[in-house]
Copies of this chain bind each other. A is one copy, B any other.
């Protein structure tokens, strides 16, 4: 099991990747990261929600409220990726590929 700390700097990218498909909210994002990573990575709540705040401030995502019927009319904060967010995601993907390549030269 991995900690958010070793993924530091790429939590935002992971979240944006999931928001590419459709708007979502904290708890769902959290569960999806967990299942996609096959339980290898469980993001901390504080890490997740502070990423939302930061990314909304940076204009990478936008929030809106939605009262879902299936959860007994519970109000959730949904997030939607913006064009700036999509651009940032692409940049981070390129950066990641470079980084990965560099680190690989020093790892056995």
Contacts and interface: CB of A to CB of B under 8 A. Distances in A.
Binding site secondary structure of chain A = helix
B96 A103 contact: yes
A79 to B, nearest CB: 16
Interface string A70-90: 000000000000000000000
Interface stretch (A7-15, A51-59, A61-69): A7-15
How many copies of this kind of chain does the complex include? 2
A50 interface: no
A61 to B, nearest CB: 15
A97 to B, nearest CB: 8
B2 A98 contact: yes
Interface residues of A, number: 30
A17 interface: yes
- Most chain B beta-carbon neighbours within 10 Å: one of A2, A14, A103: A103
18 contacts: A2-B95, A2-B98, A5-B9, A6-B95, A6-B99, A7-B99, A10-B103, A10-B106, A13-B106, A13-B107, A14-B103, A14-B106, A17-B107, A17-B108, A33-B106, A36-B105, A36-B106, A93-B107
